[in-house]
Amino acid sequence: MNVLRQVQGQIDSPLTQKGIQQAKKLAKELADIKFAAVYASDLLRTRRTAKILAKEHQLIIKTSRAIRERSYGIFEGRVVNEIQQELADVYEQRRRLSTQARLVFKVHESIESDEDLVGRCLMFLRQAAVAHANSNVLVVSHHGVIRALLIKLGHFDYERADQIYIENLGYIVIDCDGVDFFVRETPGVKEVNTN
């Protein structure tokens, strides 16, 4: 669906051959890290990615709906450009909002807000951090989750977010002190040159 520029959201779509190769490459990069657990969104594409990444670690993958991609409601499966044109006025309205207002803003009643998305994700991450204190945990999720999480954690704001691109298999490394999360690294999160 990425190739066709369609909004996937929570539609269950498989990985392409390119996606499988990207996951195998990242698995080699992560092979020397000792993970206490591997979690994945319950969607097919993330479960498959997690299986490839976890193979060398011989860990059972636990799935969770809490780290699923954003729900795009009635817009899932539609072409991105069509949605952007149809909701252009609403996107413009959202663009003018403060960060706090934008977090809770819904582009459409059927589309999950950033606050809803990050809320369920942070609850999951806190539980995982408590369950695996002082250990590395691999969490396989989605672009929208990572982007919204980086904004919520103050790594960048919405203005800068429009110039950020998260590559397929891009990831972030976050630390937890038991309460708060801190962004340590963002491999695969790139700034797009808009000039």
When pLDDT is cut at 50, 70 and 90, the band that residue 161 belongs to is confident
CATH of domain 17-191: 3.40.50.1240
Dihedral angle, C-alpha 97, 102, 107, 112, nearest 10 °: 180
Q: In what order do the strands lie in the sheet with 35-41?
A: 61-64, 35-41, 136-140
- State both tokens at 44: 């097919």
pTM metric for this prediction: 0.91
Place of tokens 């904004």: 151
24-74 pLDDT, tens digit each: 999 999 999 999 999 999 999 999 999 999 998 899 999 999 999 999 999
